Homo-oligomer: A and B are copies of this chain.
Amino acid sequence: MCGYNPARVKGFRAERELVRKFWEKGFAAIRAPASGSKVKHAIYPDVVAIYKGKIFIFEVKARRKLSTIYISEKQVEKLKEFARRAYAEPYIALKIQELKRWFFISLSKLKRVGSKYRIDLEVIKDALTFEKFVESVKSVTLAQYIRSDG
């Protein structure tokens, strides 16, 4: 990072933490280049995590405390396009710092409001935690995963 931008620093930290957590659970995981770059804006999810052929992509959000989250239409469209090409499952990965906890929200849970998407509080409270997410990934065979994908 060249310039200091607190929001970006928070974002980087969350992305790095997520990559490290996935790596510890046996996944291969990679973070995208700095959010500011043009290429990133064009196509990339924030994090890609792969477990034995099963591909997951994430838009990463970090918030201090539990609150409704808004996501731009553009971010959602990019995630969908990458997922379509890769046969990946797209998620919003939300870190709530106060709770020291991650929540994984499927795109199907997003509610459209005008030109944005909203994640309601109840959706976040019902979302998969990191442990549950990893468990669900490991409990599905690759064959099942591919069938459910196609």
Contact = CB atoms under 8 A, between A and B. Distances in A.
Interface of A: 1-2, 16, 19-20, 23, 26-34, 39, 43-45, 48, 50-53, 55, 82-83, 85-88, 142, 146, 149
Given A33-B33, A33-B34, A39-B19, A85 B50 contact: yes
Contact of A88 (B29, B33, B43, B50): B50
CB-based closest 5 A-B pairs:
A28-B86, A50-B86, A28-B85, A53-B87, A2-B2
A50 B44 CA distance: 12
A85 B43 CA distance: 24
Contacts of A31: 32-33, 39
